[in-house]
Amino acid sequence: MNNTNDFNLKKVLPAVLTIAIGMLLVMMDVTLPHIQSAFHQNLSNSQWVITAYTLAMATVIPFAGFLGDRFSDKKVFALAIIFFTIASFLAANAHSLQSLIIWRIAQGLTGGVVAPIGIGMSFKIIPMEKRGSMMGLLGLPMLLAPTIGPALSGFLVKHFNWSTVFLINLPVGILALIFVLLFLPNFPANKASKIDLKGTLLSPFAFPILIYGVHVGTDKGWSNPTALSFVGLGIIMLLLFIIVELRVENPLLHLRAFAIPEFTKGISLMWLNQIVVFGAMLLVPLYLQNVVGLSSENTGLIMVPQAIASFLGMTIGGRIFDKFGTKAAVLPGFILGALSLSLFSQIKPSSSLAFTLCAIVLLGLSQGLVNMQVNNHALQSVPMKNISRVTPLTNEMMQVVNSFAIAFLTAFLSGQIKKQTGLSPLQANLTAFHHTFYLLLIFVSFGFILSLFLRKKVKA
């Protein structure tokens, strides 16, 4: 089905939309506002609702490739949606914070396989010459979830109840399952596929432990003994995992992909861009609320144009990718990102709404032009026979990069605020935000320089 001569938009489009809906279902549940007040718990305890979900996903993602190969992608994708939807129903009916955390773990353990298997299936469905324009649809959940998700969740909690954040998953999950049964092609299972036992034992002690250590460090400071212990142990286990995976014949994650130059360049650009994306998702709402004084609801509404601009940029970028290659889309994307961050580094509480929206829209266009294009560039350089073990790799590494990005930028912003002695609290905050936006501008500059070395077209 991945031959251009066999390309049929009426067959491929429903399948790609089905995968996108499944990914959106899982990604919309990353945060849950006001859980602290709902269960009358302190912030440290309530934060486990988010942390447990993240750690559960990090635990199961490395197994996605094996599960898809062994039992067929379509079957595992469908079962993941079924159990994620059931877990959402149970989470909505949780009567204590402890029971909610248990069902959040269940959500993470089932939802973690959806994105890597979904992206892997899309590469099997979409021919190479159409991947840029078609796979832009798969980037939509990645854009909507962090931008629209908090605003929608805040609205539901304010006007209804915290449980509606989970209940809304039920119709989406049922719709996704129906679409899976109707539109996804059957992929043959490889009954002879064997699991990497050494990797299976090491994986749960590498990624989740490392990510948890980063979460603790972000929350309690990097001098905290628990944070240092878990980060150190996580790094050691990760190194052992890498050594094992490079030696076995059928690894959980195809780490040998890093020997492919275009994959390494593409994945490095993904990481740089992700730091900017998560940095913006962290900094801009914080600035609007803490410096400008907007409510969380109004902040969410102001961020909506970013998602719209991102989708527009992704649509345009996908077509440029198909016709002219990765570099033609990514270089303008990083330039727009630099312009946006330059505006943010000069922004003030007195700045007009038009100035703020201009910076937000430019950032959205930048993300749209860069995000899926560098992802496609990296994955397209890998032989198709290894794609099912590479998509879990890129997804797992994104979990790690996102955690480190949030931790690093939060620590940098806090440090900058403390350094602004002699200034009023408002001016200290404003200066610290400006310096942090300058830091993101440096990451964008590195991305632009690295993009210059990309090959125009890649083919495994």
Asked which of 211-215, 238-242, 293-297 is least confident by mean pLDDT, the reply is 293-297
- 110 and 245 within one domain: no
Task: Tell me: pLDDT of 4 over 50.
Answer: no
Task: Tell me: pLDDT of 105 over 80.
Answer: yes
Mean pLDDT of 428-441: 94
Three-state secondary structure call for residue 384: helix
pLDDT value at residue 35: 60
Q: Tell me the pLDDT band of 39, cut-offs 50, 70 and 90.
A: low
pLDDT value at residue 38: 60
In a domain, 5, yes or no: no
Asked which of 41-45, 102-106, 257-261 is least confident by mean pLDDT, the reply is 41-45
Q: Is there a contact between 388 and 195 (Cβ–Cβ < 8 Å)?
A: no
- 147 and 237 within one domain: no
pLDDT value at residue 112: 94
- 444 and 319 within one domain: yes
Task: List the CATH number of the domain containing 61.
Answer: 1.20.1250.20
Q: Tell me the pLDDT band of 106, cut-offs 50, 70 and 90.
A: very high
- 271 and 158 within one domain: no
What is the spatial distance between Cα 396 and Cα 207, in angstroms, rounded to a whole number?
A: 8
Q: Which residue has the higher pLDDT, 253 or 32?
A: 253
In a domain, 2, yes or no: no
- 368 and 263 within one domain: yes
pLDDT value at residue 382: 94
What would you report as the CA-atom Rg of the chain, rounded to the nearest whole angstrom? Answer: 21
Task: Tell me: pLDDT of 421 over 90.
Answer: no
Determine how many CB atoms are found less than 10 A away from the CB of residue 24: 21
In a domain, 438, yes or no: yes
- 176 and 213 within one domain: no
- 422 and 387 within one domain: yes
In a domain, 393, yes or no: yes
In a domain, 1, yes or no: no
Asked which of 12-16, 55-59, 156-160, 423-427 is least confident by mean pLDDT, the reply is 156-160
- 221 and 96 within one domain: no
- 354 and 437 within one domain: yes
Q: Tell me the residue range of the domain where 152 lies.
A: 10-193
What is the spatial distance between Cα 180 and Cα 75, in angstroms, rounded to a whole number?
A: 9
Which residue among 251, 278, 297 closes a domain? 251
Task: Tell me: pLDDT of 5 over 60.
Answer: no
- 200 and 130 within one domain: no
Helix 114-125 × helix 64-71 angle, to 10°? 60
What is the spatial distance between Cα 371 and Cα 137, in angstroms, rounded to a whole number?
A: 12
Mean pLDDT of 405-434: 90
Asked which of 59-63, 199-203, 248-252, 295-299 is least confident by mean pLDDT, the reply is 295-299
Mean pLDDT of 345-351: 92
What's the Cα-to-Cα distance from 69 to each of 66, 176, 193, 220, rounded to whole Å? 5, 21, 7, 41
In a domain, 98, yes or no: yes
Q: What is the pTM of this model?
A: 0.89
pLDDT value at residue 256: 95
pLDDT value at residue 402: 87
Mean pLDDT of 388-406: 92
What is the spatial distance between Cα 166 and Cα 153, in angstroms, rounded to a whole number?
A: 9
Which residue among 144, 169, 193 closes a domain? 193
In a domain, 311, yes or no: yes
Mean pLDDT of 131-138: 81
Q: What is the mean pLDDT of the chain?
A: 89
What is the spatial distance between Cα 120 and Cα 383, in angstroms, rounded to a whole number?
A: 12
What is the number of structural domains in the chain? 3
What's the token pair of residue 106?
């269940």
Torsion of CA 303, 306, 311, 312, to 10 degrees: 140
Mean pLDDT of 374-402: 93
Q: Rounded to 5, what percent of the chain is helix, strand, coil?
A: 80, 0, 20
The listed range with the strongest mean pLDDT (74-83, 204-213, 221-230) is 74-83
Determine how many CB atoms are found less than 10 A away from the CB of residue 261: 13
- 281 and 414 within one domain: yes
- 99 and 220 within one domain: no
pLDDT value at residue 127: 86
Which residue among 158, 176, 193 closes a domain? 193
In a domain, 140, yes or no: yes
